[in-house]
Structure 1
């Protein structure tokens, strides 16, 4: 009668008991990742342009939760970007982006803080990360309190004046001298002159450029140039300098357009898609 060997993996040197034990640990680890997040630090650099450029005015009487210090209420802006306002003091208020900096999920206002329903990141009412999925603090913006009117306001932001390129409806001719950011490789600039069709130009080499639509492919919000790439302020999608989707809200890459460089004229001609 031959001997019976308690071997679960021939050739890998594991007996059945060790194999089952290690398999169980792997399964438990997978469940913990699903339930508690990736455990990986995936911060976003803070952004300042996530709040409405047109400004925002809120009447406190419409938000009972803000009557007392420590109160917090969801107050989405007209563009649909998820926002909250927290009362930090008798006359001090702060606006908070509700886009989780881990993967762009909209946070829940829960009691005296904020919680991400996706991977469990938790934040204090001032936007500070306090636990759960490791990530960055939330983006915040101070508010102007008008006691007489009973309102809090984000003042309207005046967009910086941008050089106006030549646009014949089909092509955009960008003069590089007008955009110092594009003088070096890796430079990025918005080049459409603050039009309704936002375009960015990225210098990828001495004589090579990439032109990209700055419309987020998820819901069409205008993305911001941030940390050597692009960031969508609405649901936190992130894109590389060449428009490839990197993380946050899942979507497709930014739309690229042909860009032709002329060393003679110092221009880049973008063929508009």
Structure 2
């Protein structure tokens, strides 16, 4: 649906996690902001934006971040970002970190290909925690002590700094039934974690585990909260959630026209 008072400001910047693939003996200058523009959404519900290739330095492969900021006339602001790559080679190693694991893949001309690689896991002071030879694609667990992983294959090298991973590496469910409060932690990588469960501000359970599936008797109308703390990439990560008492739920459904132009009226 068109947004008649909305626009999106788009900035293309060098990623804080960027890696470079440059030619030897060549000086390169890479600005922090590669490009920016503003897009009106008055006439369209969505718009494709083509990034000009002239904004990227020649003979350099790098990771960049596109940041879109939605602004409305009533000061509503929503920001989203996307990390992308521009390659200086037909070959590429991709590393995706999720749930305490690293998914490793090798590509040629954009197509995933099987190959062999060397994997190195480095600690806080870049000391070698473990090195191994393996086949790609592969899914490997990441020790909580590691701060960087490096993959080398077919003359390429790709590294990921784990302290920059913002996504939680533990999955959990914290919910309430008619008579119980349940906390279930799914931890495929077996990352050690501390947890606390509170009722009305008082701690009713705590511990140090790698897995957890606990049930607590829910009494009265008190609210509950929980906190999970773990180490990953050399940093302490904290997950918190509130579980207030809800006596009645209100479900609201709104039926209206998908498009309303200025001056028109619609029944809701």
TM over 0.5: same fold? no
The structure where strand makes up a greater share of residues is 2
The structure where helix makes up a greater share of residues is 1
Q: Give TM class, smaller chain.
A: under 0.3
